[in-house]
Amino acid sequence: MERSKKIEFEIHVYHCQNCQEDLGTFQDVRIYLTKQSKELPIPTGFMKNIKARLAEEEKKRRQKNKKRNKWIFIFAVVCTLIIGIGFFTGTFANLYYTWTVEDQELLPYLQHDFGEMLNLEAESNGVKVKIKSAISDEFQTLIFYEIEDTEADNQYGIMFGDGVFVENEIDLMNTDVYPLNYPPDLESAINKEKKNVYHGKMGLFPIREDNGTIKLVITQLMKLNDASSNPDEVYDGNYKTGEWEFEIPVKKLPTKQFALVEKIEVEGVPMRFDKLIIAPTATILQYSINAIQPEKNLSSITFDNLVVNNKKVIADLYGGAFIDAQEGMDWSTYQAYFEPFFGKKPKEVKAQLKEAFLTVEDPKIVELDPSQNYPQTFAYAGSTITIEKVEIGNPSKVVISDHNIENRTYETLNLGINGDENIEMGMKNDSVIVDKNGNKYDPIDDLVKYEEIEQPRYFVTKYDISLQSDKAGEEVVPKRLEIYGYNTTKYLNDVVKISLD
């Protein structure tokens, strides 16, 4: 034994009766074995063989330990590489969120580190509201939520501005940029799982600073319609009142912009693509339309989808805006919104055009005479328009119609009566919606699902015009019908390959 340990041992034995007895027994056995070993005959080479066998066993043990340590080292290196790759590529985050997040819309945001699970919860009047996550960029703050009715099988949604407001909106948010609209989606798989739970999202104004805390106050929830009762109406018309308050931490995520260099013509009107903007909550295509055309103006255009690096992102039906790009009076600049793009730096972009809304200048003046007999007809833009009535009264009236919409060039007319005279002109219209196959729909029919109509065109078939002078008691005499031009829709199927600068 080492000197220090031996001293400790001797001191302990001196004071411990039990250890003294154990030590005495051990010494007696050792003395006995020593005596016996001298009396027993040991064969020649006996100890040598034992030592050789012990040496062989020790060699095997060391080789086994060496091999085991080698595999432990290899395993540790592999684990380190896997952990490193998982950390830098987000593989572990992807797997974790794939296993734990059931909301498939929220999932890609979390997998790409655009947000985190918050799970802020408040309960009032038998309803739990949970804020699952919040993602903010320069265009909007996107709130993912879950609402559970703990007392009945009802589903509720949230709409910003309808019993929902941000207490510190003025101090925190940029109210110049209006967020996108997200109608309730009762047909998604997650919202069909439970009759008393609804998963939705809501757009708020973007925050001005890099980070902040949104103080969200909810005082009423919209009751969503049970699809079995009326599948054509999303909102039930009833509300659930209560008090749900949240403090939501948000961080404004960066936006990437890529210059585009592509010019095309749509129905003869020059158009160019300016920027591709990739934000966490939306993909935005910025484009400009030449606004100086003598006879035809492309008032707006819609897209079906974008394909970025072979990944398709669908156009947002409710997203799109005119912006003041300050690039000259000859061009009008717009932004079209698409689904978020989760991917690497874009190398190839394709845009599929959908609709072109055209305003055509095609002036025509038709003289009116209340003393003549009506109806009368005149030709315009390849169609025959009927003047059904011209009356002087208080107010005076002019009624024109064109019910033959088959192969009609124009959809609506831009018109006036008596030019620049100081009159108040009111107008009521009869109209019809026609799809690509010629099927007709009543625009005021609440049961019509307009978003499901394939390539709809809106035709006005009748203009009922009332005329009243701005001077009390003075009648207006309809003298002339002035048509300045017309509006029409062209459906497109062009795919434009856009080059990046």
CA distance 423 to 365: 18
User: What amino acid is encoded at 173 in this protein?
Assistant: M
Question: Could you tell me which of 70, 50, 46 has the C-alpha nearest to residue 58?
Answer: 50
Map 377-411 to HEC letters.
Answer: EEEECCEEEEEEEEECCCCEEEEEECCCCCCCCCC
Structure tokens at 149: 């009715």
Question: Given this model, what pLDDT does residue 66 score?
Answer: 64
Strand ranges in 291-382 using DSSP code E only, listed in sequence order: 296-308, 311-323, 331-338, 349-367, 376-380
CA distance 163 to 179: 17
pLDDT in tens, the chain (501 residues): 665 666 667 677 666 777 777 777 777 666 666 566 555 555 656 556 666 676 677 666 766 666 666 666 666 555 555 555 554 545 555 555 666 677 888 999 998 889 899 999 999 999 999 999 999 999 999 999 999 999 999 999 998 888 999 999 999 999 998 888 898 988 899 999 999 999 999 999 999 999 999 999 999 999 998 654 444 567 778 899 999 999 999 999 999 999 999 999 999 999 999 999 999 999 999 999 998 877 889 988 999 999 999 999 999 977 778 887 666 678 899 999 999 999 889 999 999 999 999 999 999 999 999 999 999 999 999 999 999 999 998 899 999 999 999 999 999 999 999 876 778 889 999 999 999 999 999 988 877 777 788 999 999 999 999 998 877 778 889 999 999 999 999 999 899 999 887
> In 10 A of CB 391, how many CB atoms?
14
Question: Given this model, what pLDDT does residue 41 score?
Answer: 58
Classify 306 as helix, strand or coil. strand
Note the maximum CA span of the chain: 155
Question: Given this model, what pLDDT does residue 228 score?
Answer: 46
Strand arrangement, sheet containing 127-136? 120-124, 127-136, 141-149, 197-204
